[in-house]
Structure 1
Amino acid sequence: MTAETTSAAAATPQADLLISDVTALVHGPDGAVDFLPGAGIVVRDGLIETVAPMGELAGVRAARTIAGHGQVAMPGFINCHTHSPMVMFRGAAEDVSVVDWFNKKVWPMEVNLTPNDVELAARLACAEMIAAGVTTFADHYFSMDRVATAVDESGLRANLGWTFFSSEGPAGLARSADFAREYRGAAGGRITTALAPHGAYTVDDDDLRATARIAQDEDILVHIHAAESRAETRTSRGNRGLTPIGVLDHTGLLEGRVLIAHGRGVVQEDLPLLARAQGRVGVGSAPKGYLKNGTETTAVRSLVSAGVAVGLATDGAASNNTLDVWESLLFTCLVQKAVEEDELWMTARQGLHHATLQSAAAVGLAGQVGSLAPGHQADIILVDLSGPHTQPIHDLASTLVFSARSADISTTIVAGQVLMEGRRLLTVDVPAVAQALAPRLAALTDVSHGRSIQDYAAHP
C-alpha cells in the first residue's frame, strides 16, 4: 500500500460493519439473481454502502467485522402476509374444514385475546422470524400498537396494519387509520404501516371506498384479504356481479397501493384490472397452508404477466404452523412447477427473485429492502452451507432453494444491527416469553363461551 493510499484510507470515516469473505447474492440490471464470490459488504448508518470483492476493500476500516468464512450473504427474507400473534394458536386448529377452522376454532378463540396476549405472542413470533432469517414482515391483526412494541424491541422491520370489519361500525376504520398515521416511521423508521380492511367479503363497499380515499390522500398501503379462493370468486360474482378483484377496482382500491393476501381466486377477467393498476398491486402467497387445505394455489404466472409483484408469505402459524419463509420459497418452486405442469417454470433463481425483489415490491418497499445493493437497508442474513445436506454444491441457487433450510442461517442483521449471531438470538428472551405465555394458553383456546368475532359463510 502506497503512502498516498494509506493516507486516503485513514481519511475515510470508519464504517459501522464489515462482513468479510462471503458469496453475496446480488441482482443484475434486469433483476436476475447472481452470485459474487469472495465479497465483502460494508455497512454505514444502517445502510449497505458497498458490495465488492474483498480485494477492493483492503483499506476499509470498520467498528466491527463479521468473518463470513465462505458463507452465503443474502437479503433478509420478507414475510409478505402474516398474523404474527397467531403463533399462540399454533396447532390448535388442525384437520378441520375451512368453515370450521374459522367458526369453531380461530374466531371464537380470538374473542379471548387481551392486548398483553398479543404482545407476548408477537415477541415469540419475532424471535421465530429472526431465527428463520425473516427481516421484514407485513402483519395484519388486532392490538397493533402492542405488535409495534414487540417489533421495536426485537429490532425487526415490519409493515403493520390494524384489522377491521364493517361489523364494528365506523370505529373500525377510524382505529386502523389512526394507527397507520401514528406509527408510520416508528422504531427508528423500521415500521411502516397499512390500512387493514379484513376482506372484500367482511368489509362493505362504503368502508372500502372510504379506505381507498384515505389511502390515496395519505399514500398509505392497503393490506387486504381478497380472492382467497375460487369459491369466494364464484360467490362474489353470483351475488354482486363482480369478482373480489372487481370489488377492489369498483371501490377505488386499485387506484392506490394494495397488498392482497393470497389471491388464489384470481381469474382471467381480473388480469386486465390488475395490469391497469400499473404495478401498484402486490400479492402475498403462502403455499404451505394451501396444501394443508387441499385447495388451489396462487396463480403466480398469470399475476406476473399482469405486472403484479408476487411475494412469499406464511400467513399465520395457526394455519401454516411456522413463520418460516424458507419453507414458502421451497413450496413455491415445487407447487408452481406442478400446477403449471412445466418443469422449466419457477426455477431456483426465479424463486429467489420472488423471495427478494418481488417480495420487497409486494410490501411497498422496493428500492429499500430485498437487495444487497448500495443505498438499501442493511437487512442481511448469512447462510452456512457446510452441512452434509448441502454438499457438494454444483449450482448455488438450487442448493439454497432445494437443499438448504432456515436452520442453516447463522446470522440475521436488520438495519445494520445484529439480531442473531452463531444461531444465538440477541434481542428476544424466548424462554421468558414462553413462560409468560404458558399460563394463558388454556383460556386462549377455550371456545365454550359460544361467541365469535365474526361469522364465516361456507362461500363468502
Structure 2
Amino acid sequence: MTGEYANGPADLVVEGCTVLVHDQDGGIRFEEDSAVVVRDGAVEAVISARAAAGRPARERIDARGRLAMPGLINCHTHAPMVALRGVAEDVPVEEWFNDWIWPIESNLTDDLVELGALLACAEMIRAGVTAFADHYFAMDRVADAVVRSGLRANLGWAYFSSQGPEGRERSLDFALRRGGDAGGRITTSLAPHAPYTVDDADLEATAELAREHALPVHVHAAENRAQTDSSLERHGRTPIGALHRAGLLDVDILIAHGTGIVEQDLPLLQQGGGRIGIATAPKGYLKFGWDTTPIRALHSIGIPVGLATDGAASNNTLDVWESMTLTALVQKSAERDPRWLTARQALDHATSQSARVTGLGEQVGALAPGRRADLILVDLTGPHVRPLHDVAAALVFSARSADVLTTIVDGRVLMRDRKLLTLDVDAIADELGARLPDLIDRGHGRRIQEYDAGR
C-alpha cells in the first residue's frame, strides 16, 4: 500500500461524533462531525468525519449523536472498599474509622480484595472511568483485577508505621515488581497512609526511596481542617509542613483531599521541587461535614487538582462524573462566586489535570496524536441534555455517567453500548456477597489502626 495509508488500515475509527479537543493554551472546544483514528493503542488523528470515511480500518464505530472525550480518571480511591459500600453511614470520621472501617478491614483476605477490585473496575468502566489511582492493601490482587478488566491504573500498597519497616518494604517491593505490567497500563507509587499514621522517620525514608527508585508517592494529607489544627497544636506544623520537612514535596507526589490546606501551606507547595498534585473527592467531604479542597488557591500557585471519589465506603459510588458535577457546584458555593470553576474548567480538571495529577499527563487526558487511546462515548440525544445550547454545561450539569455508552482503553473496547465485555458483574457480585458475613463481623475487637488525626 502506498500514499496516505502506507501503514495499512487503522485499528479503529470512531466516526460521526462531536470530539472534545484541548487547545494548546489549555482551553476546551468541541469539534462536530469528527472522527478519532486509533492505531497501536494510540490516537493517530482527530479528523473530520468526511476524511475518515475514506480511511480503511479493521473496526469502525458509528458514533453519530455521541460525544468522544478523554476517559475520566479517578485520582484517588480504594477500589476494594466497594465491599464496604453503605456499611457505616451518618457518623463522624473518628467513629467511621475506629468503630467500623478499620475493625472490618482486619478481616480482609486477598480473595476479598480481588473481588472488591473487580467489582470496582466494572463500576468504573460503566461510569466512563478509564484510569484510577489506588491506595490499598494486597495490591498484587488489585493489579490482577486491573489486568483482567483492561483498565489503566496507578497502584500503591498502603502502609502504616505501626507495621514496622516491613510495611514500607512491601510497598517498595510491589512498586518495583508490578510497575509496567499489563503492557504498561499499570504504573506504581509508594503509598504511606498519612502523616498521622506514618511517623517522620518513615516519611523521610519514603522520600529517599522515591528519589532512589524514581517512584512517585501517593499519600493522604490535610484531609480535614481538624487534622491541620491538631497537628499545629501538637507539632507546630501542618500536615503539608510534615511532608515538606520529610522531603516529600521534592519528589513526585499525589496528595489526597487537602481540605485542610491553609494559607501557610501554599508557599511550601509552590516551592516544592517535585510534581505535586491534589486529588479532590467532594461527595465524601459533604457527608463528613468537612470543608472542600481550596482549588482556587491551588490554581493560583500552579498546582493541578484532579477529581476522585475516595473509596465507596465513604463516597458510596466510584462515579467520577458525579465528582465533576459536585466539584463545580461546591467550588461556586465555597468561593461565593458563580463565575469560578466553570463547566469548561470542570472538564479540564476531569481530563488533563487528572492525568497530570496521576503522573499520566504525557499518556492520556486529551484526544491528541500520540496519546493513548483512552476515550469514552457519551450519548447526547437524551431529553435531559437537549437542546444543546452549551455542550460543556450539558456534560457537567445535565449528563450523567449512565449516558456513557462506550469505554475504550488503549484502543480496546471494554464496554460497547452499555454492555461490559471484560467482566461478569453478576458472577463477581454473587461470589463477593457470599463472603460478606465474615468480612463485616466486628465481634473480634480488632482494628488495623487507631484514628487519631493529631498524631
Normalising by structure 2, report the TM-score.
Answer: 0.98
Equivalent in 310, 318, 327 of residue 322 of structure 2: 327
**Alpha-carbon distance between aligned partners in 1 of 2:74 and 2:288, rounded to the nearest angstrom:** 20
1:233 Cα deviation from its structure 2 partner: 0.7
1:70 Cα deviation from its structure 2 partner: 2.6
Q: Is the 8 A contact 1:357 1:370 kept in 2?
A: yes
1:9 Cα deviation from its structure 2 partner: 4.7
1:50 aligns with 2:45: yes
| Distance change >3 Å, CA 115–CA 238, structure 1 → 2 | same
**Alpha-carbon distance between aligned partners in 1 of 2:65 and 2:362, rounded to the nearest angstrom:** 27
Give the structure 2 partner of residue 422 of structure 1. 417
Aligned residue runs from structure 1 range 198-277, under 5 A: 198-277=193-272
1:59 Cα deviation from its structure 2 partner: 3.3
Give the structure 2 partner of residue 408 of structure 1. 403
1:7 Cα deviation from its structure 2 partner: 5.4
Equivalent in 267, 273, 288 of residue 293 of structure 1: 288
Letter in 1 for 2:322: E
Q: Is the 8 A contact 1:279 1:308 kept in 2?
A: no
Aligned residue runs from structure 1 range 375-390, under 5 A: 375-390=370-385
1:11 Cα deviation from its structure 2 partner: 3.3
Letter in 1 for 2:231: S
50-59 or 289-298: which moved more? 50-59
Give the structure 2 partner of residue 136 of structure 1. 131
Equivalent in 183, 191, 194 of residue 189 of structure 2: 194
Aligned residue runs from structure 1 range 155-166, under 5 A: 155-166=150-161
Aligned residue runs from structure 1 range 315-394, under 5 A: 315-394=310-389
Identity of aligned residues (%): 59
Aligned residue runs from structure 1 range 428-447, under 5 A: 428-447=423-442
Give the structure 1 partner of residue 8 of structure 2. 13
1:121 aligns with 2:116: yes
1:217 Cα deviation from its structure 2 partner: 1.6
Q: Secondary structure at 1:52's aligned position in 2?
A: strand
1:148 aligns with 2:143: yes
Q: Secondary structure at 2:451's aligned position in 1?
A: coil
1:51 Cα deviation from its structure 2 partner: 0.6
Give the structure 1 partner of residue 78 of structure 2. 83
Letter in 1 for 2:108: L
Letter in 2 for 1:454: Q
310-319 or 26-35: which moved more? 26-35
| 1:196-250 CA-partner distances (Å, limit 9, x unpaired) | 0000110011111110011112111100000111111111111111111111010
Give the structure 2 partner of residue 181 of structure 1. 176
Equivalent in 87, 105, 117 of residue 100 of structure 2: 105
Q: Is the 8 A contact 1:9 1:59 kept in 2?
A: no
**Alpha-carbon distance between aligned partners in 2 of 1:197 and 1:380, rounded to the nearest angstrom:** 31
| 1:30-74 CA-partner distances (Å, limit 9, x unpaired) | 111111111110101100010111233343111000110131001
171-180 or 31-40: which moved more? 31-40
Q: Is the 8 A contact 2:311 2:318 kept in 1?
A: yes
**Alpha-carbon distance between aligned partners in 2 of 1:408 and 1:130, rounded to the nearest angstrom:** 12
Q: Is the 8 A contact 2:225 2:290 kept in 1?
A: no
Letter in 1 for 2:350: A
**Alpha-carbon distance between aligned partners in 2 of 1:224 and 1:438, rounded to the nearest angstrom:** 30
Q: Secondary structure at 1:381's aligned position in 2?
A: strand
**Alpha-carbon distance between aligned partners in 1 of 2:2 and 2:266, rounded to the nearest angstrom:** 59
**Alpha-carbon distance between aligned partners in 1 of 2:204 and 2:174, rounded to the nearest angstrom:** 19
Give the structure 2 partner of residue 3 of structure 1. none
57-66 or 93-102: which moved more? 57-66
**Alpha-carbon distance between aligned partners in 2 of 1:195 and 1:423, rounded to the nearest angstrom:** 35
Moved over 6 A (4+): none
Q: Is the 8 A contact 1:17 1:63 kept in 2?
A: yes
Equivalent in 289, 307, 321 of residue 302 of structure 2: 307
Letter in 2 for 1:162: W
**Alpha-carbon distance between aligned partners in 2 of 1:11 and 1:304, rounded to the nearest angstrom:** 45
Letter in 2 for 1:37: E
**Alpha-carbon distance between aligned partners in 1 of 2:27 and 2:81, rounded to the nearest angstrom:** 35
| 1:103-132 CA-partner distances (Å, limit 9, x unpaired) | 000000000000000001100000000000
| 1:236-278 CA-partner distances (Å, limit 9, x unpaired) | 1111111111110100001100000001111101101111125
Q: Secondary structure at 1:112's aligned position in 2?
A: coil
**Alpha-carbon distance between aligned partners in 1 of 2:274 and 2:158, rounded to the nearest angstrom:** 24
Letter in 2 for 1:85: P
Q: Is the 8 A contact 2:234 2:454 kept in 1?
A: no
Q: Is the 8 A contact 2:328 2:343 kept in 1?
A: yes
**Alpha-carbon distance between aligned partners in 2 of 1:259 and 1:306, rounded to the nearest angstrom:** 16
**Alpha-carbon distance between aligned partners in 1 of 2:454 and 2:88, rounded to the nearest angstrom:** 20
Q: Secondary structure at 2:9's aligned position in 1?
A: coil
**Alpha-carbon distance between aligned partners in 2 of 1:404 and 1:325, rounded to the nearest angstrom:** 12
Normalising by structure 1, report the TM-score.
Answer: 0.97
Q: Secondary structure at 1:388's aligned position in 2?
A: coil
Q: Is the 8 A contact 1:27 1:371 kept in 2?
A: yes
Q: Secondary structure at 2:384's aligned position in 1?
A: helix
Give the structure 2 partner of residue 96 of structure 1. 91
Q: Is the 8 A contact 2:65 2:381 kept in 1?
A: no
**Alpha-carbon distance between aligned partners in 2 of 1:229 and 1:402, rounded to the nearest angstrom:** 27
1:59 aligns with 2:59: no
1:442 Cα deviation from its structure 2 partner: 1.1
CA RMSD of aligned residues (A): 1.1
1:279 Cα deviation from its structure 2 partner: 6.3
| 1:74-129 CA-partner distances (Å, limit 9, x unpaired) | 10000000000000000001111111000000000000000000001100000000
| 1:424-446 CA-partner distances (Å, limit 9, x unpaired) | 00000001001111111111111
**Alpha-carbon distance between aligned partners in 2 of 1:313 and 1:58, rounded to the nearest angstrom:** 37
1:343 Cα deviation from its structure 2 partner: 0.4
Q: Is the 8 A contact 1:77 1:135 kept in 2?
A: yes
**Alpha-carbon distance between aligned partners in 1 of 2:114 and 2:129, rounded to the nearest angstrom:** 19
| Distance change >3 Å, CA 341–CA 278, structure 1 → 2 | farther
Q: Secondary structure at 1:389's aligned position in 2?
A: coil
**Alpha-carbon distance between aligned partners in 1 of 2:453 and 2:186, rounded to the nearest angstrom:** 36
**Alpha-carbon distance between aligned partners in 1 of 2:3 and 2:35, rounded to the nearest angstrom:** 19
**Alpha-carbon distance between aligned partners in 1 of 2:274 and 2:453, rounded to the nearest angstrom:** 32
Q: Secondary structure at 2:117's aligned position in 1?
A: helix
Give the structure 2 partner of residue 36 of structure 1. 31
Unaligned ranges ≥5, structure 1: 1-5
Q: Secondary structure at 1:146's aligned position in 2?
A: helix
